[in-house]
């Protein structure tokens, strides 16, 4: 609206952003027991406070049967969606996230 100033912040969005001062990226990692994202990938603390277990909380997770909290990047082929992380991928699987970025980048350059 017309009444807000340039310093105003949308609090509904601010709660979903990284806690690191000055960062405007989406929070994706946080204390697993609290299940609340607090930090973006760049600002995950090396030494979590109060012995908290920090993990990936937003989006799809590795589908390893014994459970894994990492983000998947590997699929059966470049055309399949990623379902496993690096540690739990079968040897023949490929990094589908990276191959999509490369394909998208090469298509945009040729246009």
Question: Quick one: 32 and 8 in the same domain?
Answer: yes
Residue 50 shares a structural domain with residue 65: no
Q: How many domains does the chain have?
A: 2
Q: What percent of the chain has pLDDT over 90?
A: 34
β-sheet with 54-56: strand ranges across? 36-39, 29-31, 54-56
Window from 9-23, 42-56, 66-80 with minimum mean pLDDT: 9-23
Global model pTM greater than 0.85 = no
Q: Where in the sequence is the domain holding 92, given as residue range(s)?
A: 60-111
- Dump pLDDT digits (tens) for 61-103: 899 999 888 889 999 988 889 999 999 999 999 999 876 555 5
User: Which residues are within 8 A (CB) of 29 and not within 5 positions of it... i.e. 6 or more apart?
Assistant: 37, 38, 39, 40, 41, 44, 54, 55, 56, 57
- 110 and 78 in one domain? yes
Same-domain status, 34 and 47: yes
Q: Is the alpha carbon torsion for 97, 98, 101, 104 positive or negative?
A: negative
Distance CA 65, CA 84 (A): 10
> What does the pLDDT read at residue 86?
94
Q: Is 26 helix (H, G, I), strand (E, B) or coil?
A: strand
């Amino acid at each position: 609206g017309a009444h807000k100033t340039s310093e105003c912040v949308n609090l509904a969005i601010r709660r979903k952003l990284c806690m690191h001062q000055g960062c405007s990226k989406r929070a994706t990692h946080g204390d697993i027991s609290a299940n609340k994202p607090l930090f973006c990938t760049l600002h995950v603390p090396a030494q979590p406070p109060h012995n908290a277990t920090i993990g990936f909380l937003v989006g799809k997770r590795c589908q390893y049967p014994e459970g894994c909290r990492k983000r998947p990047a590997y699929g059966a082929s470049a055309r399949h969606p990623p379902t496993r992380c690096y540690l739990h991928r079968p040897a023949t699987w490929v990094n589908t996230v990276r191959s999509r970025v490369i394909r998208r980048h090469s298509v945009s350059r040729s246009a």
